[in-house]
Homo-oligomer: A and B are copies of this chain.
């Protein structure tokens, strides 16, 4: 029996399915844990792809190799699958090893749009999409995919500042969701000071975690993004991890000269009155930049694994306190904890 959490007509269901047979180049992976994030909820709400289509959920997974099937992987090796697959035939982005740079119509995304995800007892995965993980990190392995999103965003942001001496004094994370909170300890290693903005009370577990991970908490109900330079200090980096539409423009107002805003959240349409002249002028006269980033490639997964390994144990553990057995997948999808995951493996 294979436990599979499937979206059918927009509703998640636990069903039986036959164990997949790995094809040439594919390994059979037994899934241990799958993390839940806002994207999974958007998938159920129909914000990605065809909500009527039947699809296995889950894109943040960790598992172990059950059958290497001649791929060079080893039995029982811990692995994390990447998310993007070619839509039928390989295209230039996959040939280059840069599927994360494919336009949306040149890729499918496992568990998000167009391809089955990982919330199943077994999955067959081409070995080029499996990133090995040290066994000791297996319980935390479902955090690698979200951390890879941060890894790619920081790579793009840093590259944009590479031609000159970029001061890494202060960084700001917008959002206290799991992606924002995972980003805080990473930036705390790289910047002198880290700030985290949210709209929760200070005794919220997420806010407490942000502070434990090294951030100064900024309550957006008291201090909006564009007032942060005056209330605290201008920022060399802003990481937007909410998808709140005004944040793109407000981020630039929070930046120090020569700073960069990395945008990760995916907003809905929202029309607003904005002083585009001021926005444009701040970008130009302050040599500021803005980079959008989606998905992540193999090397970003590898960097995420290094970061996960280096993360303070107490911070890392806070992300694995809410692991639900697969039978309770609905509670996991509905929960409002720091990070929820589903346990499928034995």
Q: How many residues of A contact B (CB 8 A)?
A: 57
Given A268-B277, A280-B245: A290 and B289 interface contact (C-beta under 8 Å):
yes
Rounded to whole angstroms, the CA-CA distance of A273 and B292 in the bound complex is 22
Q: Are A275 and B286 in contact (CB under 8 A)?
A: no
- Residue A178 at the B interface, CB < 8 A? no
CB proximity of A35 to chain B, nearest CB, Å:
20
Q: Are A276 and B271 in contact (CB under 8 A)?
A: yes
CB proximity of A93 to chain B, nearest CB, Å:
9
CB proximity of A119 to chain B, nearest CB, Å:
24
CB proximity of A122 to chain B, nearest CB, Å:
31
Set of chain B residues within 8 Å of A249, measured between Cβ atoms: 276
Residue with the greatest number of chain B CB neighbours at <10 A, chosen from A161, A268, A289: A289
Contact with B along A141-155 (1 / 0, CB 8 A): 000000000000001
Given A284-B294, A292-B288: A276 and B160 interface contact (C-beta under 8 Å):
no
List A3-51 residues whose CB lies under 8 Å from chain B.
none
CB proximity of A168 to chain B, nearest CB, Å:
14
Q: Are A103 and B276 in contact (CB under 8 A)?
A: no
List A276-296 residues whose CB lies under 8 Å from chain B.
276-294
Q: Are A281 and B258 in contact (CB under 8 A)?
A: no
- Residue A193 at the B interface, CB < 8 A? no
Contact of A270 among B165, B265, B275 (CB under 8 A): B275
Q: Are B277 and A283 in contact (CB under 8 A)?
A: no
Rounded to whole angstroms, the CA-CA distance of A266 and B279 in the bound complex is 10
Q: Are B275 and A271 in contact (CB under 8 A)?
A: yes
Chain B: CB-nearest residue to A102: B257
Chain B: CB-nearest residue to A269: B277
Q: Are A274 and B275 in contact (CB under 8 A)?
A: no
List A152-186 residues whose CB lies under 8 Å from chain B.
155-156, 159-165
5 pairs across A/B with beta carbons < 8 Å? A159-B163, A267-B277, A274-B274, A285-B294, A286-B294
In addition to A248-B279, A271-B275, 12 A-B residue pairs with Cβ atoms within 8 Å of each other are A103-B258, A103-B286, A245-B276, A247-B280, A267-B276, A269-B281, A271-B276, A272-B276, A280-B292, A283-B292, A285-B294, A287-B291
